Amino acid sequence: MSRIGMHFSLWSPAWTEASAEQAIPEAARYGLQVVEIPLLAPQTINVPHARDLLAAHNVAPSASLCLPEDRRATSDPAAARDFLLGAVEVAYALGCRFLGGVTYSVLGYKTGAPPTEAEYDAIVMAVRPVATRARELGLTIGLEPCNRYETHLLNTAAQTLALLDRIGAPNTTVHLDTYHMNIEEKGIGEGFRLAGARAPYIHISESHRGVPGTGSIDWEDAFAALADIDFAGDMVIESFVTLPPEIASALCIWRPVALDRYDVLDQGVAYIRRLALKYRLID
């Protein structure tokens, strides 16, 4: 059966001991089984503290990131590789089994032109050795296609599947996100059906990145498709109530997406849970 989780940005723009001590017990009280930890600066996380806190509240970690500006895979694959390798080690130490996000690019980076074969070749050079190390540790690496306003490299499930085939690592997956799919796919359901078992971990994001069920996402289509593909992975709600400045700038989030985190926890989590029950993704 699937698990329902929450991205840490609901509580804080960065994982700190204080913010984690607030977030993890609250996640557990709301019945969330997974918290996605941002690894924008992996070396800053107190791993023993995080592991103890997560274990005490029976919450599983996952992780996500985007590449730093000075570690751009398309121009410096070796630097991107080294950053990702460091993040993989931290993710493993935290107890994660999944590391996803924009693992192939700097968020918001665009050339103003279509992607090139040379860019894809550079991404393969950066990601393939990372996937090899991740497989040794039992981790899956996700590549998240984002909308055209955030990247020119991967916008759809089909593009990402093609790049995964080039990488050739069995533990690399499509990290689908309903916010981006709502813009780029012919239909959210169609995107999920195309990716099938190669998308075992997804982001649940409303059209305005706020409370699920209050925007224009066709959630019935999305969950019907997940049922069709026998989805049994993690569904992590991504509602950007708080964001670090560089991410807010890349995403152009300049106004509140929800009243506060309780708006998401009280309404959004319940809404997604009802749909997951309806389509028998959870019990």
Q: What are the pLDDT digits (tens) for 136-169?
A: 999 999 999 999 999 999 999 999 999 999 999 9
pLDDT of residue 247: 86
Cβ distance 217 to 183 under 8 Å? no
> Does the residue 254 lie in any domain?
yes
Tell me, what CATH number does 204's domain have? 3.20.20.150
> Does the residue 283 lie in any domain?
no
Phi then psi for 173, rounded to 5 degrees?
A: -135, 165
Which of 36, 119, 144, 185 does the annotation list as catalytic? 144
Which of 150, 185, 206, 238 does the annotation list as catalytic? 238
Predicted model pTM: 0.97
> Does the residue 68 lie in any domain?
yes
254-278 mean pLDDT: 96
Q: What is the pLDDT of residues 58-110, one digit of tens each?
A: 999 999 999 999 999 999 999 999 999 999 999 999 999 999 999 999 999 99
Active-site residue flag, 89: no
Instruction: Give the end-to-end CA distance of the chain in Å, rounded to a whole number.
Output: 7
Active-site residue flag, 238: yes
pLDDT of residue 61: 98
> Does the residue 111 lie in any domain?
yes
pLDDT of residue 91: 98
Range of the domain at 103: 3-278
Q: How many domains does the chain have?
A: 1
Q: Which token pair is 76?
A: 């410096």
